[in-house]
Amino acid sequence: MPLTYVSMRGAASPLLLSAAAAVVMLGAAEAHGSAEAASGNGAVRGVDQSVFGQLPDGRQVDVYRFINANGIEMRVTNYGGIILSLKTPDVRGEFDDIVLGFDSLEDYLSDEYRQANPYFGALIGRYGNRIAGGQFSLDGETYSLATNDGDNHLHGGRQGFDRVLWQAEPFENDDGAGLILRYTSEDGEEGYPGRLEAEVTYTLTDSDELIVDYRAATDKATPVNLTQHSYFNLEGEGGGSILDHHLTINADAFTPVDETLIPTGEIRPVAGTPFDFTQPTPIGERIEQDNEQLTFGKGYDHNFVLAEQAASPSEPVLAARVWEPESGRLLEIATTEPAIQFYSGNFLAGDLTGKRGQAYEHRSGFALETQHYPDSPNQADFPSTILEPGETYRSRTIYRFSAQETAGS
């Protein structure tokens, strides 16, 4: 069955990754598990649901586990839409969890985590990345947002989509299983105009892909830039540094930033800079070079402008690929978004203890966030992120998991 998807924005390029079928919701009648076929991991393909804990106000938080026909297992909670774990095989067929995170809801609610707030595995909104000064003007009115990153607004504010309880509806179909998450952000929430109805669908397919579909509608013009903030370590979470991972980003340019990580407005070619990942390159190969942009980000924390843009509603393009030499795991990311933020885990400092008691040390995970550009509401030359009433925001990102002996190209 062909992939069917409608993108809100895009221009020119073929689909470079195979994609599974469109999400067809069959309801939640089988939410507590179905036993269709044993996977290569010995696990049974299907879905189950259990209680993850309670919020301080007493609301129940659930966790959903999905296993595909090949044994890949994903666990997601409806608190923040967080991907709690994602187990994939290495080149020897051995499974390990490749995303950073915690074992309990209490860890995600702790003061320690809230102060550090690395956004492990969470959905980000209304606006992924930074907005300068926590302000923007729209239709003649200036809006003030929370300043939770120095003087700037980051990832939706103090109570962004990563810290809300989403309504969840699990489903299964012939191609896989997943979870539909819905949240209504009321007019004025975190300073944003308009009542925004957001929907995000995770689909784990039997083709070893995780498809993330985003959808939103508003009753008043508002900026929207949704993304997913998982941290990956393809050797296995807690497995040490990600500096030996070989990274390719399909981008000929990036957006330089000032010392507060706000784009200057320039779109700068990557050629001849430490930001050239057009060929497979170890993340750590140039990260310590004497470069102003690396100094500002304390490493890589930059928006890359994709060389190819989605030509049509059904054609995400290859944005990035990452290969880890010890495990042979390969992650490929395709998207309908025009850019991707590469973050090399520069602010991880060993002060957060993750799953199985593992301390997450400096640069022990990386994030690749498909997105529109940072600070677009204040940058007239950047692609617009304004969603108008009557329009539908749609975006799709596909994560493909495999393993191979060499980096390839």
Catalytic residues: 229, 369
DSSP, residue by residue, 107-156: HHHSHHHHHH---TTEEE-SB-SEEGGGEEEETTEEEE----BTTBEETT
Q: What angle (nearest 5°) sits at the alpha carbon of residue 189, between those of residues 188 and 194?
A: 50
Distance from the first to the final alpha carbon of the chain: 28
Q: What angle (nearest 5°) sits at the alpha carbon of residue 274, between those of residues 249 and 327?
A: 50
Coil, strand, or helix at residue 56?
A: coil
Q: Are residues 149 and 130 in contact, defined by beta-carbon separation less than 8 angstroms?
A: yes
Which residues of 189-315 form beta strands (DSSP E)? Answer: 196-205, 209-218, 222-223, 227-229, 246-249, 251-255, 268-269, 281-282, 301-306
Rounded to an integer, what distance in angstroms lies between the CA atom of residue 357 and that of residue 334? 33
- For residue 280, which amino acid is it? P
Question: What is each CA distance from 43 to 38, 132, 178, 187, 315, in whole angstroms?
Answer: 6, 47, 17, 44, 32
Name the DSSP letter for residue 92: T
- H helix or E strand, kind and range, residue 85: strand 83-89
